Every structure is written in C-alpha cells, then in structure tokens.
Structure 1
C-alpha cells in the first residue's frame, strides 16, 4: 500500500510540475474541475496493473479498490442506490453508456434446443422386499410374483417430447406450465445439469456449440427452487463465498480494453461507474462490491449479518432464503441464467421488484434469462418479453408475450375482460 501511495504521489507531482502553466489561474488556485483532471492524468501515468485497481473517490482522492473497507462500500451503495428500483436503472444506464461510448460490443449467448426428448425409467406396481432376487427381477423389468410378493415393472416415462425453441439474449423469457409439466427438466437440460440416468435425445446449443463441445457450467447458471445453504454462515458471507468461487470471468478483460480505449480517445469516466467496474473486476478480494450491490437490489441488506439458518439454527425467513439462492448465482460473472420458481415464499411486490431488477440487468448487459414462475401477478407478467408455455411435456406456445392472447383466440380460447393473462393461461393449459 505504501508503494502504491508513493507511486501515486510521484506521478501526480510530476504531472502538476509539467502542467502548472496550463492549469494556473490569475489567483494562482486550481478549482475542483482542474484538480479532478489532474488526478485522472496522474492515474493514467500508473502501470496498467495498478491503474485497473485504482480510481477516484470524491473529493478527488486516489484509492485502491481492493482496499475498500466495509464502511466505504456501504457508503458508496447508500449514496448511489437511495431508491433501489429507480436508481438501479439509472446506474446501469451509465454503465452501459460508458461501454457503448468506446464501441465495445458485449458478448451474448443464444441458447437453442431442437427436438429435445427426455425419458426416464419409471417403476409401476407394488413394491417387493429389497432382497437380491427382487433386485434382479426389477432390473429385468418383469411383472412377476415370487413367494406372494408382486414386483415393480419398469416402463418408460416421457418427460419432454420433441421440444424445440430459442432463448434469445437481451430478452426476458418466462416459462409457464402446471406442476409436473416438465419445467424443471427443461431448465436442467438447458443448463447441462440433467441426471445421467435420464435418456436424452435432441440437441442443445450455445451460440451454435453443443453441450459436449463446451463447459456449460462456465457459461450458464441454474438457480434451483430448493434452498440449500450452510446454516451457520451469514447472508453476506454466503454471497461473498459464492462470488469468490465463481471468480470474475471476463470482467477484467472487458475493463482492460475499456480503459485502453478511453485513454486513446481522451475520455474520462464517471467516478462512481469507474469505482464499481474496477471493484467487481478485482481478483483475490475477500468481500467485493458486487456482493453489496446484490444485497441491495434483492432487499437482503437488512439481514446481511444474520445467519442463514437451517432445521437446527434459527435464521432468516423462507422468502429471504429464496432471495439468497438467487443472489448466490447473480453475484458471479455468468449472464445466462436458468431460474426455477424463484418466487416461492415471496409476496407479489417483492417478486415484482426482483424480476424488474433482473430485467434491467438483461436489458443493459445483454444477458440471457429463462425463468419459470407458477402463477405470476399481472404486473410481473408484463415485465417479460417472451413466453414459453409447457403442458404435459410439450411446448404449446413460444413467442412474444404481446402475441399470446391473439394466438389462443385463433385457437378458440378468448381471454375474458378484467382477467389477468397469466391466470387465463393457467386455466387454458389445465
């Protein structure tokens, strides 16, 4: 830290000496704008490694983002995100504007699935005692009887049948369907996390590459409907641990190219955007600003120091656990998310707030999101761009949300007035 401070002071001193005539005024003083320009100029004289870890905090102080304390990060979050929904959108706009200004195009992922059929072996009939002969007969799949006991017969159960579709980037896609319609199986298949015992035919591709050609776990994340956590860890510790395990991905490469182009073009970034981007791109940080940001947008900042809890330890509520499960994945660099029933245990207003924040993330970072919800509220339903409707393992509809009512009207199903679209669809596919 002392070496960094000496380097910063030396660079700033050299620049002030060489530029004193240009920035001098009749009174001999330097105003705030000139002082900030001098700080940015001193910052550009640092080595690339140091420059990507150093930024300016008002009033014009050069700091190492890896040395920010808990109070510093919290002060930053509180100053930027006073009203979470409104300020999050404004901040993401600034972040995207900075990237677009130098002509950088963010990478996107388009997920396609073609003629996807998934089958499982299902045992029907009465169970027998777990003896060696019974196991052998079960494997053989015969409905035989021995010593008065009936043995289960094995049959094929089709979970998904000839499912085809596209999950587009920069768009929110909602997956609807009744229980046991195959929603979870489809999400797991697209994320590359299916049980190996299942029989799968068809093809899933990411930007044209099959799951066997890439490592989907490095590109996508599956958010389960089951909350599995370490009960003795606090909410913040859980998200910090998840962030360290997932790493920073391509954030550092993006920041490096962004800073290089800005320097060549003579562009000065906004200090708060620069601080955020450099902080989330820093490696080997015990607690990152991305954790504080995620806690804020998910409404978990009020319980960040509370243990998650389990069956033996009292902790946060069930709805807060569901948000922790979501937060564990979005703190990472992955921008392809398959989210399974994230609204369980949440009230409609909280669900709306979380989905709205995710929509802004999708819009401004070109992410790819497929989310299943059982029966979303009308205002939440309106946030989605595309709809996939599943029924008994088959896709009934896939396309823009705006066209779904006209599609079913041509099929003879007209939505009554004053009835929510999601409720109407629930009745149709049941």
Structure 2
C-alpha cells in the first residue's frame, strides 16, 4: 500500500480523521497518488472535504480527481509567451501552502495570506524577507489554480498613426486692453485654426506581456504617442487613415467603452498635498479593486494588502503617515513623491499602461528598481506597457522588449531592443560622417528601407490575420454642518461645470471669477435683498448660496432671545403694553426680541424654510452634476496648448520672428515650438563669469538635523562633515530620502536655528551675519512669477540682492552680461509663463541658476537636482554650465540623481549619503572613478563595477538604493582611514582660521545691524516691489479678474 506523503494537505484528513479510520486500501492509494501529483489549491480540496463532513468516500475522491484534472487542463491551455515568471503549484514549497492558516509569524501575519493559507515569509509584505517577484508569482499562480477569472488583457497595434494639433508658433501676452479689443477682432474669429502634424506615419505592434521603450528628445512626440495609444486625445486630432486597435477592438470603441483599461501616468506629480502616502494609495486601491477576488478575501482586506505590498515594493513604508505635499506644502521628498505616483498607477492593474518620464526626480537605483518592478507585471497579467524615458541607462534599456525611436515626430526605428544598436551602426554612426543621415526625412527614409521595417510590416500583417477576441443646540450644529457640506458640493458642481464647458484655463478663470463675484454679491450678506436692484434681483432666486445663507442664519437664531438694547436711553419705569423695543420683530410689553421674529421681519428669513432650502440646494447640486457630465461628453475637443514661447507684444526677437514667418523647420512640429534648442552655453571668452569668491573653503562639521514627528523626533542628518573648495564642483549623491535636500537647507541656513546644529566656517572663520546673502541656493522647484519676462526676473533679483553700494547701472549691466554670456538673448524678453505656454524645462532651470548668479554670491552656490526632468542633452548643457562656473572660482555643491558616466566625471569630489542622513563616502572621484571605486573595493565587495557599468549607478546600488545591500557603509566609513584623514584635514583648516577673529565678527554684526534684515533697505525695496506688483496685477495679470470686477460694477 502506497504511503501518503505527510506534506500533502489531504493527508490530515485521510486515516487520521476519526470518521476515516476504515477507508479501503484502494481509496487510500488513490489519495496517495493525488498527493504526489497535486495540481490544485488546498483551499479547493478543503471545500470538497467540508462538503462531505471530512468523510472520504469514493464520491469524495472522484470530486478531488475532477478538480485536479480541471486545473491541469487550465494550466496546459495557458500560453507560454516568452519568459513565464509564474511557477506551477508543485514548485512552491510545501510550507507555503496550508489549508489551515497558522499564526507562527504573530503580528506580522497578513490577513490575505492567512485566508489563503500562505505562510512563506517571502510573500508577506510585513516580513523583512519579502520578495516582490515571488509575491507576484504566488498570487498569479493561485489565481489560475483557483479558477479566479482575470480581467481581459489586450495588446495594441498602430499603423499610419498620424496625430495633429493646433496652435501658433509663438504666443502674445494679454493685457486688459488687448482682452477687450480682441472681442472686435473679427479676423481672429474667422480664421480657421491651422492643424500641424505632431506624429507622422508611425507603425508598430506591442504584444501581450511586452514592454515598449519610447525614446526621443523633448518635442519629438513621445508624450503625444503615449496619449494617443491610451485615449488621451483631448485637443489632438487623429488622422482618418490612422489605425489603432486593441486585440481587434477599434480605438473609438476602446476609448468609449473600455477606457478604464487604459491609463496614462503623466510626468508631473499631482496629488492632494494634505493626504498622507497611505491614504493616497488606499483611495486608489479602493477605486480599482476588482469584483472577482481570491476566495475568502474581502474588499477591505484586499485593499489593505495591496497597499502594504506597494509601500514595501517602492520603499515607502517609512513615510506611510507623512503627507504627500507639493511645491508649496512640505511633505515627502521629490523622489518619494514620484514613487507615490508610480505606486498609484501600478495599483490600477490595467490592460494598457503608458508611463511618461516616470523616472524624473528618481536616483539611478530607484529608476532601475522602478523598471525592474515593471518587468514581471506584463508577463504575469498579460498586459502591455509603454514607457517614455528621457534618460535611460544601459541597465534600464536592457529590461525592455521593444524600442520606438522618434525624431521630430517621425519614426526612425521600431523593433527588438537588442537590435536597435545594430541598426544604427549599420546606418553609419560608427563610420564616415557622410554616411549618416542628417535630417528627419533622411532618417525616416533610411528606416522605411531597412529590413527591420519590413520585419515589422510582416509582424503587423500576421497580427491582422488573427485580431483576437472581446439636543436642539447640538442639532443646530449638525444642521449647520449639513448645509455647509451640501452647499460646498453644490458649488463644486457649479465650478466643475464651468471647467468642463470651457476650452482653456483662461476661459474657465474668466467665467469662474465673474460667477464667484456675482454669487457672493447676491447672497444677501454683501448686498441685502432689500437693497438689490429690481432688474438684477432675479439673480438671487437662481443663486444656491442665498438658500444656504438663509438656512444658516435661521438655524442660528431659532429659539434664541436677544435682550432689548435701545440706541438711546429709554424712559424709566415703563411697564405693560407701554414699553415697545425699537427692533424689528419686537412685541409690546416684552423686554426681549425673538430671534426667529427678528430675522423674519428684518430680512425675510424664516426657520420654516430650513428643509425646503435643503431640497432646493440638492436640486441645484444634481442639476449642475448633470450639466457637468453633459459638458464633459460634449466638450471633448478641449484646446491643448502646444508648448510655445510667449512674448509681450512688440518684444519678439528677430531670430524667433524669422522662424515664425518662415513656418519651416521646428515650427512645423507642434511639440518642438516651445523647446527651440539654443546654443549650448557659449561664452565670449570661453569661460563663464562667476562672482568673486572669498578665497577660502566652506567647511561644515558634525551637522545634525532633527524634526518632530508623531512618534517623537526623527533624525534626518547624522554628523555630516565635509568642505567645498573654490573652483571645484562637488557632487552630493544618495537615494531618495537620504537627506540631500535637508543638508543643502542646513548649509544655506534656511532652517530654524534650533532645528539644525553643527559648525559652519568659511576659510576657517565662523560664518558672519551676512552669510545668507553670500550664498546662492538653486532649489529643485523652478518657481518664478509667471507674468514677468526673463530679463525682468533677473533684474528683480539683482536689484534686491546685490549690495546697497552697487550702483543701479552696474546691477543692470550685470544682468545684461549674464544674458549675453549664457546665450539667452533669443528668449530674454520671453514671458516665464506656465509649463506648456512659456519657457520649457531646460530654459526654466537655466533661469533658476541665473537668478542666483544675478545676486553675485561670493561664498557658495548650492544646487538641488539641476538636471531633474531634463533629457540627456539638456543635462549635459547644465553640467557644462556648472563646470564653467566652477572654473571661474566659485565653490559649488550639487545634488544629482541620475548622472551618466560622462557627467559623473565632470565632478571633482563626491559626498555619498546613505539612508538616515549618514555619510558613506567623502573624497575625490579620480580619473575614471578609480579613487572612489578603489575605496569600496577594499571593503570586500562581492560584485565589482563592470567596465561598461555606470560608476554612479554602481555606488547607489551598493550603499542601499536597492534591497540588495547588507553592509553598514556609514559605520565602515567612520572606521576607515579616509574618514580619519578627512577629520584631521577639517581640524587643521578650522584651526588655521580660528585665531583672533573677534574683531571681524564684531564688525560684521555691526554692519548687519546698520543694514537690517535685508541686503537692500526698505525705502529702496518699496518702489521695486511696487512696480513688480503693478505689472502683475495691472497690465499682465490674467485679465479675467479685472474684467469680472468691471462687469460687476456695472450692476450696482
């Protein structure tokens, strides 16, 4: 008789169960055979046993065999497409699957895993040994084995994809006068908007389970391609000959009936800033939880488990209870906010997903980890993914199946990723210069004549042949809360209707401004009902706010008595009907006034209207909800700004005007219009000018930073020391959340005095009271006044931040010198604007650097991620600019996330920070990074840096930017000879400058007291700031507010 394996889940109820003591040997042998080749879930077996009260009979065994056979057929029917990340259930360790949930892990057990009987710690997100790949394999495998239907998945196919947009080559800034006269510009209304091509004739197919990498410079149409394949075509026009299909489903049907299966993750991180990371992901998981789930897994449990997995997978567990924040609200770091966006999109679990530059703001290790997380998901869910990355390392590139290369809207390659380099080498890039195509048309012609294009056409033809398949006081407070809540919802529907019915933001703001002033004025508070003009009084009847206002006042006054207070002294000893209070609603003989009577007599507000008004407000809310939905469907062709430079009228430079008049070159590319490539940091003398330096090193020692959190305090910086020399460029690197920005804030003295502590010196001398004005700090966010021109922004910075003794003419000359030396003449008079209608990312970043240079910093220049969000060429431009500024004698410390090997060599020294704000290395980089690699190699690394590997990515990988590190690198650094050498050098430099400086410190303090808190005195600041405010709100502000006030004044 065959023995039953003890690990088999059925073995527990064979002859060990009281009711199964006498089962025949034949039945026992059949159970043993099933246990040795079991291919079904123990949960399903347990259900079969429970239906027979755990008594095993011939009928029970037959049901078990049928279940195994069903799962075997399902397993054999699944396609083996490329590399299958799923493992058969027999390959999962026996300890992982158990029909009886065990509590061996105590509080670390997960509800979902307990319900499924999974006890393997590598699939438990609360366990330190959690592995995302194993978790994905296990969940997908269980879903198949249990017969849980998966959502339909799809590939996408596109042929002759041509997308057009509309918009001028350049824009003009509106003023109050031009906004009024434009109403009578009949030529503007009669002219048809010119449609210009963004994408031209793209072909390709992405199968289920494939990752597509989209490459191209800004303006090449990468974003437009991702929007087109995911149905985000507002403001865009697909050519009638363009074909986009999803497993045989046309694009129009997919975007109308299955739009939830398409997702576009945009480049900009937009979140509710006051929600925590956990709340943000819980909302997304709740909205995308499928109806069909694993057996026994409820909706709340599934949401909790999915959020826990994403928090661990993307390294967000430590900031779960931290608010997300934004550019103005302090929250998580920029890299962590980007990871929140990625996790939010990953929770959607859609058929086709598109990621637009989702590695922006992430360090190299986090970027590689993001792509690593993307890789198994298409294989497991049979979905397809497209990602556009501006900066892609070789390690990231190797993880994609296919690549699409765009050049000014034209397709120059599509095919397997390993074949891309071979294709361009055959084109001639490694040979003589004359063999290389130069124009977009030549690139496209070469691509269409290549064998790769013919192979693509053959694959597309095969695809088309098989398109695929388918208390009263307490009550008053509750009433008040109810009416405020309902009124807020109602007004929200009003403004949503306005936004959905208009084409642009300016139009929406104009209507919303006029509507807000009108509704507030005719609410009954600013202008009582009795004072309203008869010909405009009808506005109050269609105003939802007036009904809420009446209900709030009547609710507040209901049942109250107000003592009678006469405006003049009353007569004495008045009693009975003789006494009458001179207040509306008063009754003869009463020394008080009823609140209900007073409001009804004075204003016509009655408590009997309370619940009537509630139904009226609800009616308004549902009416505007209907109009909002209707406007969303009808007004689908909203105008999208193509990304243009905006100039004040009469200020367009000749070079840009020539491009506009000719209408050739990049003016034909709607995305490239706002990103004209200007010369790369050309200088007059071959060097960029830098302000005069103090001539000494900037030193800091034992810098610590503690912040208060709910649990007490959290240390962001832990005894960080170092220095920067004049004329050198020092890189500050570390994974997201390691404290890089916090260190820059501490060095720039931008933190409260009691938050950060440590020693700061310049040339060995303690920093003076004027140190803040000697330091320039370029922050990560490019925040500028959108109505000012580039020249005005630089002039404003120079006028207020350069010293009082500098003449005005010299300050203005300094601005013109910066514009000329940095080749900014072509857009010096352009308006800053907003992204999409104004300066592009590179121009904004250069403006942020120039604003700080206009202040003439004499001590230090700090930069926080100056290359974040830029493509490779723009990043090279910024780093080259910094290198030239450093050559002028300025001390510079720069954080950088994704440096290429060439950019990494531009830096002289490296400060590498590990999680927790601790130093992992500080010293020179060396030729070909030999110095820093030699240091890490001495500490017994298992993996050495390969010749073709980027040293920066290698360093981030070994110190903890990925989950693979096990060494305590900060401890190793503190015990190393290099750290002792740094400490000795710091002590020597600080000692040389610490002798007899009390007289200089006293002189600095006296000078600071005479000057005040700012570099320029208040009388000199006032006219400069007033001029800027008048320009913003008078002549250049969005004219909607001015026009709204003019229209409102006409109604009084």
Does the pair score TM above 0.5? yes
- State the 1:42 CA deviation: 4.9
Q: Where do residues 282-361 of structure 1 align in structure 2 (5 Å cutoff)?
A: 282-283=298-299, 287-361=303-377
Partner Cα distance (2:135, 2:122) in 1: 16
Q: Deviations over 1:278-320 (max 9, x none)?
A: 64xx335584211111111111112111110134431101111
**Where do 1:386-405 residues align within 5 Å?**
386-405=402-421
Q: Which has the higher relative contact order, 1 or 2, with Cα contacts under 8 A spaced 6 or more apart?
A: 1
Contact kept, 8 Å, 1:239 with 1:291, in 2: the verdict is: yes
Question: The residue matched to 2:299 in structure 1 has which SS?
Answer: coil
Any conservation in 1 of the 2:123–2:135 contact (CA below 8 Å)? no
Distance in 1, Cα, partners of 2:170 & 2:328: 38
Q: How many Å separate the matches in 2 of 1:100 and 1:74?
A: 20
SS of the equivalent of 1:243 reads helix
Cα distance, 1:95 vs structure 2: 3.9
* Contact preservation (8 Å) 2:111, 2:301: no
- The yes-or-no answer on 1:225 pairing with 2:225 is no
From the superposition, tell whether residues 64 and 155 of structure 1 become closer, same or farther in structure 2 (CA, over 3 Å).
closer
CA distance in 2: counterparts of 1:318 and 1:63, whole angstroms: 30
Change (3 A) 1:285 1:414: same
Confirm or deny: 8 A CA contact 1:16 1:38 kept in the other structure. Answer: no
Note if contact 1:192-1:216 (Cα within 8 Å) is conserved in structure 2: no
Aligned Cα RMSD in Å? Answer: 3.9
Q: Secondary structure at the match of 2:126?
A: helix
* Structure 1 residues 139 and 45: alpha-carbon distance in aligned structure 2, compared to 1, 3 A threshold: farther
Change (3 A) 1:59 1:397: same
Aligned to 2:273, the other structure's residue is in SS state coil
| Map 1:272-283 → 2, pairs under 5 A | 279=297, 282-283=298-299
Match of residue 92, structure 1, among 118, 136, 141:
136
Match of 1:179 in 2: 218
- Seen in structure 2, the aligned counterparts of structure 1 residues 162 and 103 have a Cα distance that, compared at 3 Å, is same
In structure 2, list runs of 5 or more residues that go unmatched. 1-12, 24-34, 36-40, 52-97, 433-870, 874-1052
TM-score, reference length from structure 2: 0.30
Q: What is the aligned partner in structure 1 of residue 208 from structure 2?
A: 169
Q: Following the alignment from structure 2 to structure 1, what is the Cα–Cα distance between the partners of residues 303 and 149? A: 29
1:206 equivalenced with 2:256 (yes/no): no
- Segments of structure 1 that go 5 or more residues without pairing to the other structure are 1-11, 23-32, 48-53, 143-153, 257-277, 417-424
| Counterpart position of 2:194 | 155
Mapping 1:69-88, distance limit 5 Å: 76-79=124-127, 82=129, 87-88=131-132
Normalised by the length of structure 1, the TM-score is 0.69
Task: Please say which of residues 360-369 and 174-183 is displaced more in the overlay.
Answer: 360-369
Alpha-carbon distance in 2 for matches of 1:63, 1:413: 55
- The answer to whether the 8 A contact 2:112-2:301 is kept is no
Q: CA deviation digits over 1:214-272, x for unaligned, max 9? A: 334221211111111011111111011011112316x53xx46xxxxxxxxxxxxxxxx
Distance 1:395 1:98, change over 3 A: same
Distance in 2 (alpha carbons) for counterparts of 1:370 and 1:230: 26
> In structure 2, do the counterparts of structure 1 residues 134 and 356 end up closer, same or farther at CA, with 3 Å as the change threshold?
farther
1:405 deviates by: 1.4
Structure with larger Rg: 2
Q: Is the 8 A contact 1:230 1:308 kept in 2?
A: yes
Seen in structure 2, the aligned counterparts of structure 1 residues 235 and 141 have a Cα distance that, compared at 3 Å, is same
Query: Does the 8 Å contact 1:297/1:354 carry over to 2?
Result: no
Aligned to 2:161: 116
Higher strand share: 1
Report deviation, 1:46: 6.4
Secondary structure at the counterpart of residue 213 of structure 1:
helix
Residue 138 of structure 1: aligned partner: 188
